[in-house]
Structure 1
Amino acid sequence: MNKILLISLVSVSVLAGCASNVGTDNKGSLTFLDHFPKQGSELPYSVLRDDLVDAKTNQTFEIRNGGFGSAMTSHPSKVNQFYALTDRGPNANYTGDYGKGKSFPVASYTPRIGLFEVATDGSISLVENILLKRPDGSVISGLPNTSALGGTGETPYHSNGKPVLVNDSQPYDKTTNPIKLDDYGLDGEGLVALKDGTFWVSDEYGPHIVHFDANGVEIGRINSFKNDERTIFHLPAVYQHRRANRGMEGLAVTPDETTLVGIMQSTMANPNKAAQKSDITRIVTVNLNSGETEQYLYRQEKAENANSEISTLTANKFLVIERDGSFLLGGPAKANPNAQKQVYRIDLTTGTPLSKIASSSSVSRDESHGLMIEGLTLEQYVVKNGWDALAQKDIQPVDKTLVIDMVEEVAYPHDKMEGLWIIDEHHLGVLNDDDFATWSTKGKLEQKYLDANTVDSNQLYIIKADLMGK
């Protein structure tokens, strides 16, 4: 059973990056807010490779780095700087001779954190690249984990359809030269930057929550796998049932830096895939001093939406992205004028801490599947009986209030909205994931376009709004 984490009810100031931190020259300036373009500013990128042939145009196209939109967070002391995270690298669904998996056109790619600075004219520059590394200092990859640590059987392939092997210069052999997997591999999606210069990253594989020092070297790890000797604390075992490619998509930390707050992207496959196409997602808190955890529920606007970021306002209040996967203008899919790209404010004190639910004749706890009602997991129970029935069991999701609708604000053209940067109480940065400017149709790679002429890129938008709800 999870221990109860008591969260202070005292409202505190917004995290570093807010107006309260402005005033000294070495911390930067907020003057960029006066000149920032309404339609956003593009992040710089380099080209990883440009020799592959686009499956639709039959022309070569660029795979870009880019890819810095999986998460973002404010620099703890410099108000005109932010950190942004890449995921595992460019990839696409692919089925080859060794089963279903992913094509990795840059299989050697190292996930990384970028430090960016916004100039007074609104332009953005890359200040630093921090490659993520193992405890021994060697760089990690974005390749899948083994099944013992949450891997879902994804086979990594090169762009030519050959499997990624431990030694690519030799033929495949199940024993002496097997498929290459990486238990340090991360598909990073959540990012926290602490005042001591270290980072926490959450991912979609384990999910894992990994602590990196200022140079990107791993110094600690949290996950739900009891046999993983690298861990300092554990998540509840239920998180092993994350839906493939929809793991811990957002990560935040309380202002006192004692508690991590993670949110799952979508409904978990708890106990199986039949339960995952729903509108119930989970929030978990982890006390970094004691390891104690607590869980809360979030109700999405529609089934299979994505919660792709969480950012801290106070000890209890957070901003959460909720989006679908559609394109307003079409892009590689059909245009959807009802595309949903929204930011909500939530308050954890309004949700029911799951550890407080008393056991009874109808309520029990399972070591693997968590809280059970009438023999069903919470995910199953909501699918079968609905949220009203859950409320009758005295279980409520966190309250949510719409703060920003990005489609209304800027006619947001991207499919993915995955980064939030709280600049001050009235300004929010929003960043998209451009997928390294790549897309795939039926497993074939192509350039990712937003319309007939515009290649998707990491675009920072800054929106003025009342974030605190005062």
Structure 2
Amino acid sequence: MNPSSLRLRLLAVALTAATTLNAHAAVDLIAIGSISGAYEDLSNQTAAPLENGVAGNRLGGIGSGLAYAGGDIFLGLPDRGPNATPFDSNIIDDTVSYIDRFHTLNLSLAPNPDYPGEPGSLPFVLTPTLRDTTLLSSVTPLVYGTGAGLGNKIDGITPIGSGEPGLNKRFVHYFTGRSDNFDPTKPSTNPNNARLDPESIRVSNDGLSVFISDEYGPYVYQFNRITGQRIRSFKLPDNLAITALSSQKDVEIASNTIGRVTNKGMEGLAITPDGKTLVGIMQANLEQDKKGSLRIVTIDIKSGATHEYAYKLTDGSGVSEIVAVNNHQFLVDERDGNGMADTPATPSAALVKELFLIDLNGAQDVTNVTGPKADLSSYAVSKVLFLDIVAKLTAAPANINPLLIPSKIEGVAFGQDVVINGVTKHTLYVTNDNDFLATIANPLAPASGNVANPNQFYVFAFDDQDLQGYVPQPVKPRTLLECGFNL
């Protein structure tokens, strides 16, 4: 290609990118809602205090993952539990025997009668309501920690004990967040391990099962939506697994040169609108890959066949979620660790909470591209910025102080359409993981005392021009009885 042709081609690409980004500027914030971090969930049988004294049914962390389930029903996914509350055991990294679960939520949108007259008001009011809590379990027995060598619970007297939940019974073996619940003789992807750190959830098109990805394995499991029992384990590529397992993060990281980095496993999971493919993304690079080079794993639901593709970080320190736009394009949630509930003693303003549009069409499989410190940059999928969440939240009419934007923006899901000024718009829901901390030091004035730290929900509206090719997932809505709601 001669220099003139090359310049013209580069100019055309630049103009196309600029046009795309300008179109995305029309994505609007239309509602904000929250659920108090002081509430308890609907699993009363788990209410007994955990090893760190926190109630076992604290309603927290529900924005680690968010899935659309039809109508105004969504599923919220907590991670491994309230391990941000320390107690006197460093051997298990303050993890506790919190039983993994997901929550069924009504996220009801209604026109705001005060809009636009009241300053700072938004077009819609979002009312979140908890409808049900579903515990995750296995029919077959799981491997739990023995408790040997551990200290005492928060009371300083009672031994921490085994990692096996007291609620276990025949054919019901619960997954928990305890970091010592594993078989040390097998790779981290052993599906018999009881430890599970859920990070993303998606609903099958028939509405009867859910797919969950995690950081410990990493794992991708399918669960019955009604009972919460695991019905399938997907075998992930061997290069994602570590072989030297430990209940201590730092020990585990130092002991492995291949596999996922501890606490940075499969953070995001998407399901294509045709319901045929799961698409997972790692939070960070594998041990054998160069920093900033992440792997995307596609899973054919029917056959279990997998492929790997490369994603390169732009601004954030990691990826927290991926959601399908259509069968080949996806939004990826890239973020930093700044923002509310980051480190309460030294608050830092949120900077990077961005959604990038990527396309797997034409991407090269990198399954066999290996280290040491493999640089996947040249294989990375194409990407373009779709939504700068911090910019939207700090701008009018919300005008949110960046110190008050949650650090862990992790749940992303498309929702039901709405009508604004006679025009039909699509919706995008974004939520946070509040780390099960009901209150934190005031980020605006840390010495002034604590403030509430709720589970937040932000709703954005966009049209077909903003996100061309968007195809909603056709999830079949289920009745209350079908989905096991408490009636």
Q: Which bracket does the TM-score occupy, shorter chain normalised?
A: 0.5 to 0.7
Change (3 A) 1:349 1:448: farther
Aligned position for 1:3? none
Deviations 1:234-274 (A, max 9, x none): 2111111111111100111112212111000111212xxxx
Deviations 1:281-332 (A, max 9, x none): 11000112222111001110147x1211111111101111000111169761
Contact 1:330–1:451 (CA under 8 A) maintained in structure 2: no
What SS is found at the alignment partner of 1:409?
Answer: helix
Match of 1:113 among 97, 102, 116: 102
AA aligned to 2:265 is G
AA aligned to 2:326 is T
* Distance (Å, rounded) in 2 between the aligned partners of 1:460 and 1:431: 5
Aligned position for 2:204? 194
Contact 1:101–1:156 (CA under 8 A) maintained in structure 2: no
- Can you give the 5+ residue segments of structure 1 that lack an aligned partner in the other structure? 1-33, 55-59, 147-153, 169-178, 223-233, 356-369, 439-445
Match of 2:273 among 255, 266, 278: 255
Match of 1:314 among 313, 319, 326: 326
Give 1:61 deviation, angstroms: 12
Give 1:180 deviation, angstroms: 6.0
Give 1:184 deviation, angstroms: 2.2
Aligned position for 1:72? 66
* Distance (Å, rounded) in 2 between the aligned partners of 1:296 and 1:194: 23
Contact 1:95–1:101 (CA under 8 A) maintained in structure 2: no
What SS is found at the alignment partner of 1:410?
Answer: helix
What SS is found at the alignment partner of 1:381?
Answer: coil
Aligned position for 1:126? 130
Match of 1:459 among 456, 462, 472: 456
Contact 1:329–1:451 (CA under 8 A) maintained in structure 2: no
Match of 2:216 among 200, 205, 212: 205
* Distance (Å, rounded) in 1 between the aligned partners of 2:49 and 2:380: 49
191-200 vs 63-72, greater mean Cα deviation: 63-72
Give 1:434 deviation, angstroms: 0.5
- What percent identity do the matched residue pairs reach? 30
Change (3 A) 1:328 1:186: closer
* Distance (Å, rounded) in 2 between the aligned partners of 1:314 and 1:86: 26
* Distance (Å, rounded) in 2 between the aligned partners of 1:194 and 1:320: 20
* Distance (Å, rounded) in 1 between the aligned partners of 2:287 and 2:152: 26
- Superposition CA RMSD, Å: 3.8
* Distance (Å, rounded) in 2 between the aligned partners of 1:260 and 1:192: 9
* Distance (Å, rounded) in 1 between the aligned partners of 2:345 and 2:286: 26
What SS is found at the alignment partner of 1:354?
Answer: coil
Contact 1:264–1:281 (CA under 8 A) maintained in structure 2: yes
Change (3 A) 1:61 1:235: closer
1:81 aligns with 2:73: yes
* Distance (Å, rounded) in 1 between the aligned partners of 2:154 and 2:273: 44
**How many pairs are equivalent?**
352
Give the alignment of 1:8-47 within 5 angstroms. 38=31, 40-43=32-35, 46-47=39-40
Aligned position for 1:428? 428
AA aligned to 1:399 is S
Match of 1:165 among 136, 156, 161: 161
What SS is found at the alignment partner of 1:408?
Answer: helix
Aligned position for 2:374? 381
* Distance (Å, rounded) in 1 between the aligned partners of 2:363 and 2:468: 18
Give 1:74 deviation, angstroms: 0.4
AA aligned to 2:238 is A
If the length of structure 1 is used for normalisation, what is the TM-score? 0.66
Deviations 1:326-358 (A, max 9, x none): 116976154444611111111111532225xxx
If the length of structure 2 is used for normalisation, what is the TM-score? 0.64
* Distance (Å, rounded) in 1 between the aligned partners of 2:94 and 2:444: 25
